[in-house]
Copies of this chain bind each other. A is one copy, B any other.
């Protein structure tokens, strides 16, 4: 049931012709309360799309009535005209819902540069039609309407004792041209203040979506949103809520990784015994972004030398001549030299596990990525975007 699983939310997904396929392309999710609390985290890319610029202002007071998301156009690098489109989107929704425009978040995903009058007219029509169709079972329709090159919807639900969290996600995996955006909406009927919601969202995002690094490229449109209705009446234990939110975010992140376009492997890079969590992340990311490593995995080649050459580019604490590397359960490298023979490693399954033991501390982190494939090159070179 996705974002409408928790109490207090309604959603819809409609088709207004933004996508040439005629598939649904505008989603609306409304918080019916009693609380109207919201939190969001945005792309760290300094080149931000117009909807990001708008939403960053909306979220400042921690009050969110609704969110409108469109696919079929990113409205990025579309100038002040594009910003006006986003503003009008929020205005139209606010008018129809009887709330303030400054409490309406807007997200867009699609080709960079799309955002003209035709786009604007369709998005506004989508707002009207979407709000007309709002219903408490509309979560899956909303999840469907934000899809771009996703081959499947990505939704998840977390049920606790008396409260729950719902979620939907799109994108982020192997990025098709301009369809790079990761959009996530999480809803909960737990009772939280806006600062609690913000803190929990940042903590959960930090160890899930922030550690999904499919091709090292950071989108201009990424946004992860949490809306809080409080309709359960239950104030959750803080640690329990954070754990639940982290679990649902990790679930959605793995779904995004699994649907990475053109990828043939889902690679999990676990860095252990680092001096700090930040260093574990730095080391994991250096491997996740290394083209020679990712191409080797595509070729089912257990090339631990490339793992060492990748981590050697970081400033993290470790002795390059005293690290261990395991690939799919086989320790192919110990203390910086060869261990088990490469023939023992089977890299043909899609699920790929790399474990790097730095042996200098007790911190760890896992980065998720995908391999570098011919399909990735094809998808990202053949289409304008």
Contacts and interface: CB of A to CB of B under 8 A. Distances in A.
Nearest to A308: B47
Interface stretch (A225-233, A272-280, A371-379): A371-379
Q: How many copies does the complex hold?
A: 2
Given A180-B292, A215-B292, A291-B217, A299 B77 contact: no
Interface stretch (A88-96, A152-160, A334-342): A334-342
- Top 6 nearest A-B pairs (CB, nearest first) are A299-B381, A47-B312, A112-B305, A295-B380, A45-B312, A46-B312
Nearest to A291: B215
A385 B309 contact: no
A45 B381 CA distance: 31
Contact of A291 (B45, B79, B216, B301): B216
A112 B307 CA distance: 12
Interface of A: 44-48, 76-79, 112-113, 175, 177-178, 180, 215-220, 289-292, 295-296, 298-299, 301, 303, 305-306, 308-314, 320, 333, 336-338, 342, 372-374, 376-378, 380-385
A296 B112 contact: no
A384 B342 contact: yes
Contacts of A112: 305-306, 309
A195 B384 CA distance: 52
A77 B301 CA distance: 17
B45 A303 contact: no
Given A48-B320, A298-B381, A381-B298, A113 B313 contact: no
9 contacts: A48-B312, A175-B292, A216-B289, A295-B376, A295-B380, A299-B382, A301-B384, A373-B377, A377-B377
Contacts of A177: 292, 296, 301, 303
Contact of A292 (B217, B301, B338): B217
Nearest to A214: B291
Nearest to A310: B217
Given A77-B338, A320-B47, A380 B305 contact: no
Nearest to A335: B79
A298 B76 CA distance: 23
Contacts of A306: 112, 385
A188 B143 CA distance: 67
Highest count of chain B CB atoms <10 Å: which of A308, A310, A311 = A308
Contacts of A308: 47, 77, 220
A298 B312 CA distance: 29
A83 to B, nearest CB: 11
Given A216-B289, A292-B380, 5 more contacts: A46-B320, A47-B320, A112-B306, A306-B385, A374-B374
Contacts of A313: 44-46, 218
Q: Which one of A78, A112, A380 has the highest number of Cβ atoms from chain B below 10 Å of its Cβ? A: A380
A309 B380 contact: no
A319 to B, nearest CB: 9
Contacts of A220: 305, 308-309, 312
Residue from A113, A289, A337, A381 with most neighbouring chain B CB atoms (10 Å) = A381
A87 B310 CA distance: 26
